């Protein structure tokens, strides 16, 4: 692959596993700053060049700048008067913290425009899920905070990816979804090099729906595997789960073809079958007889748990049939035994595919 000949400035806001992995992937080619609000974590990474909390035993490039100063990190990822080269800010925060982060970003960008007039930032978020309180997808939260001025280039980076494998330098393919061609080009310039491939699309809704709902389907597949229901059952859940994701996505404006790509089928297969999938691990534990409080008390958390109720609530308002999501919610929140939930799912009337 052709590598970028320019060293761009990239700021990653959020030093969880995925934010750290993306920073590590970009650092050999670009000037990367990684921000976290936890000063102890920043100090540890600065000294040891390892994120012992979220990516233990993974050595990080020594060129990464670490900071707990949000204003400094944002300034690093914004265009400057000294260079015409694009810069990039990556929001590596979970969906539940996205609104607060965007509000802080707006305040800092407004102040920056006083010294660099008409500052236009390129912003990419990576979180997957629906906000558990508002039921909004990430792009809806971003639009609500930033407004419709169109001043900034916005998009979402997603795809079938485990942070640990990306940090190890193993091959991965991701999708950047944005209505801004320049932003899609910038993300390619930052990340499209061995061993990462970046594909572009304008279907933000489809990419986000796939990233959110695949976690719920992975919990369902984990439950089936925990009950030892076999490979046939897992294949059926993946296939019908994909249909469920597509049905929901198309209803709110997604392109149906997106769900046959990386952020639909690709991410679903990875999360439903991969050993590193936390959502699958939650399902496995439930299938083997643990209750949700017991699973959470063990320290195992997953996006699909927080997202499931929000998806079910929004689907009901839209009158979208979501049988797998309903069954997962019955197990998670209504104390329905997993075997009973599976029996109810299998007892549904036969219908055309």
Annotated active-site residue 214? The verdict is yes
C-alpha to C-alpha distances, 17 to 112, 113, 131, 166, 235, nearest whole angstrom: 29, 32, 20, 10, 29
Asked if residues 298 and 240 have their Cβ atoms less than 8 Å apart, the reply is no
* From 5, 128, 164, 214, the catalytic residue: 214
Element (H, E) at 157: strand 153-158
CA distances from 195 to 169, 198, 336 (A): 7, 10, 44
Tell the burial category of 95 from Cβ atoms under 10 Å away from its Cβ (0-12, 13-18, 19+). Answer: buried
d(CA 184, CA 187) in angstroms, rounded, equals 5
The first and second tokens of residue 165, run together, are: 């494998």
Q: What are phi and psi of 176, to 5 degrees?
A: -105, 120
**Residue 125 and residue 159 in contact, taking contact as beta carbons nearer than 8 Å:** no
- Phi, psi (deg, nearest 5) at residue 21: -65, -40
Catalytic machinery residues: 214
């Amino acid at each position: 692959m052709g590598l970028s000949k320019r060293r761009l400035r990239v700021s990653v806001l959020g030093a969880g596993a995925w934010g750290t992995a993306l920073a590590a992937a970009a650092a050999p080619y670009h000037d990367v700053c990684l921000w976290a609000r936890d000063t102890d974590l920043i100090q540890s990474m600065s000294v040891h060049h390892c994120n012992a909390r979220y990516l233990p035993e993974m050595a990080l490039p020594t060129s990464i700048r670490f900071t707990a100063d949000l204003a400094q990190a944002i300034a690093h990822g914004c265009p400057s008067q000294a260079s015409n080269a694009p810069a990039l800010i990556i929001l590596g925060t979970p969906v539940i913290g996205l609104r607060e982060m965007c509000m802080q970003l707006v305040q800092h960008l407004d102040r920056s425009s006083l010294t660099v007039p008409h500052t236009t930032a390129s912003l990419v978020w990576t979180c997957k899920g629906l906000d558990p309180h508002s039921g909004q997808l990430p792009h809806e939260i971003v639009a609500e905070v930033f407004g419709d001025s169109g001043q900034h280039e916005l998009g979402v980076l997603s795809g079938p990816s485990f942070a640990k494998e990306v940090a190890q330098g193993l091959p991965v393919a991701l999708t950047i979804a944005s209505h801004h061609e320049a932003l899609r080009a910038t993300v390619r310039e930052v990340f499209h090099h061995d061993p990462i491939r970046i594909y572009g699309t304008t279907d933000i809704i489809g990419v986000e729906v796939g990233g959110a709902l695949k976690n719920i389907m992975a919990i369902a597949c984990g439950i089936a595997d925990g009950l030892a229901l076999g490979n046939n059952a897992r294949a059926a859940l993946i296939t019908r789960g994909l249909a469920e994701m597509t049905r929901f996505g198309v209803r709110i404006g997604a392109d149906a073809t997106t769900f046959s790509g990386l952020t639909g089928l690709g991410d679903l297969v990875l999360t439903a079958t991969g050993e590193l999938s936390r959502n699958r691990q939650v399902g496995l534990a439930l299938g083997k007889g643990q209750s949700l409080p017991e699973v959470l008390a063990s320290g195992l958390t997953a996006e699909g748990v927080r997202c499931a109720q929000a998806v079910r609530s929004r689907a009901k308002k839209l009158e979208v049939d979501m049988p797998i999501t309903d069954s997962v919610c019955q197990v998670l929140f209504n104390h329905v035994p997993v075997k009973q939930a599976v029996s109810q799912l299998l007892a549904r009337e036969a219908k055309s595919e």
